[in-house]
Amino acid sequence: MIGTANGRFQRVSLRARVTLLAAFCVAGVVAVVSLGAYMTVSSNLDDQLNENLRQRARAAVTAPRVNADLTEVPGAFLAAGDVRIGLLDVGGRMLYPTGTIAPPSSSGDLEVARGAKLENMWDDYRTGFRVISVPYEDGRAMVIAQSMAPLNQTLGKLSVVLFVISGIGVLVAAAAGTAVARTGLRPVQRLTEATERVALTGDLRPIPVTGDDELARLTQRFNAMLGAVADSQERQRRLVADAGHELRTPLTSMRTNLELLLASERPDAPTLSDQDKAEIHADVRAQLDELTTLIGDLVELAREDAPQVVHEPVDLVEVVERALDRARRRAAADVTFDVRLQPWTLLGDSSALERAVLNLLDNAVKFSPSGGTVRLELRQVGDGSVALEVADSGPGIADADLPHVFERFYRSSEARTLPGSGLGLAIVKQAAERHGGAAYAGRAPEGGALFTLRLPGRP
């Protein structure tokens, strides 16, 4: 965030933060490299200047003497064009070439003349010279001073070059950071636009995916989420449409019967016989039962659709026995049950499993003929799961109906004349999938239908 004039803070975009981060990082690296380069070059040039002065001082000391105005002076006086050179005695007097400027001197140079020091090197910041003094014969010191202006000029030019290069590097880094941020954040921008589109229009079209990096995987996960939402909406629309279609028939029939009963109570209307009234009453009760069953199944199906995480230990044998007791009370007296159960436990929802088993048993009872047998078997299979099989001795399932028996509101041609909502087997399938299992339909050896629930767990 950055401050504004009114004291508030304005949030900086991610693209700007990436650009600033790249510029700051490069600026820091360039600054460190430039400082290191400047210090290295400065130290090398300073060492070269010192070594040059030492060499010239040694050469001046060992140079042969010449006569100048009947006075012997070092021959170096005649070759000192770019330096200031002179002889300093212990009294502080300086002998230097005619027509030149005497080199600066200090107390350290006097100590060299007295023999107390072997060398004295120092910088005279007033004149901009670096001075060196070494012992000379007769108690004197050879003093040589060289200007530091070329050194300072070289370092000045180097600092300008490094500053310019650093500035260019920062600008290039900012431009590269902007390009990288624009390219790298384009998938994020597409995700943002997609979420805004979904929020405004409800359009759940997937986003094109390019590349195989983290942002591409994020886009794939977002597309998967959009697909799940679209599938959920489609299932909701289909459920509402199918439920409306299924509810319309018993409601229309009930309305017709009620209107007929109300019309028969009018003074000028023909009366209904007691037999007709009893038939209408029975028809209304049957339609109420059908509506009650259908609404209960819809509520159960909606509850099963809700994502729930259940970690309750369930004894599957107890669940099956409770469902079996309820199915026996509903079944006709001449329908028998052949039950074989093995112990099995799992983590799950006991009420959902009981409803699924009861739906299978009710379905088997409904299609079993008079005197028929419903076989219920719970047995362990080889892959570490359990198989709950419910078989009847009815007509079985036609080949054309087998792929659709677990669909919502699907009813075969034989089942359309029988009571039911067409949701029982859909509830069975969803309960099995919620518990990590599956539901299957097929033909029983007895000739009827065979429904199997495969569930995980342990004995």
Structure tokens at 101: 């400027």
pLDDT band at 66 (very low <50, low <70, confident <90, very high): low
The DSSP output letter for 343 is -
Q: Find all residues with CB under 8 Å of 203, minimum gap 6, and list them.
A: 197
pLDDT of residue 416: 47
Q: Which two tokens stand for residue 79?
A: 């070759």
Local structure of residue 458 (DSSP, 8 states):
B
pLDDT band at 308 (very low <50, low <70, confident <90, very high): low
Give me 146's structure tokens. Answer: 């060289």
Other beta carbons within 10 Å of 91: 9
Question: What was the pLDDT predicted at 44?
Answer: 92
Residue ranges of domains in the chain, CATH in brackets? 13-59+78-195 (no CATH), 204-308 (1.10.287.130), 312-456 (3.30.565.10)
Residue 257 has pLDDT above 80, yes or no: no
The helix (H) or strand (E) run that includes residue 22 is: helix 14-62
What is the pLDDT averaged over residues 211-222?
A: 75
User: Can you give the pLDDT at residue 391?
Assistant: 86
> Which of 30 and 297 is assigned the larger pLDDT?
30
Cα separation, 249 vs 420, whole angstroms:
13
Quote the pTM value. Answer: 0.45
Pairing of strands 94-95, 84-89: antiparallel
Q: What pLDDT digit, counting tens, does each position of 105-139 carry? A: 899 989 988 888 899 999 998 888 999 999 988 78
| Closest CA relative to residue 56, chosen from 90, 20, 95, 84 | 84
CA distance 316 to 52: 99
Where is pLDDT greater, at 121 or 269? 121
Q: Cα separation of 359 and 356, whole Å? A: 5
Question: What is the distance between the alpha carbons of residues 73 and 76, in angstroms, rounded to a whole number?
Answer: 8
Check residue 348 and give its pLDDT.
83
Closest CA to 429 of 367, 360, 362, 377: 360
* The dihedral sign for the CA sequence 380, 383, 385, 390: negative
Residue 148, pLDDT above cutoff 70: yes
Q: Is residue 2 scored above 80 in pLDDT?
A: no
Q: Please give the pLDDT value at position 375.
A: 87
Is 70 exceeded by the pLDDT of residue 77?
no
- The average pLDDT across 318-343 equals 82
Percent of the chain residues topping a pLDDT of 70 = 80
User: What's residue 39's pLDDT?
Assistant: 92
pLDDT at 403 over 60: yes
| pLDDT of the residue at 283 | 75
**Confidence check: pLDDT of 245 > 70:** no
Tens digits of per-residue pLDDT, 155-206?
A: 999 999 988 888 888 888 888 877 877 777 777 777 777 778 777 777 777 7
DSSP 411: -
Q: First-to-last CA distance in the chain? A: 60
Q: 459 near 342, Cβ under 8 Å?
A: yes
The answer to whether 61 touches 138, Cβ cutoff 8 Å, is no
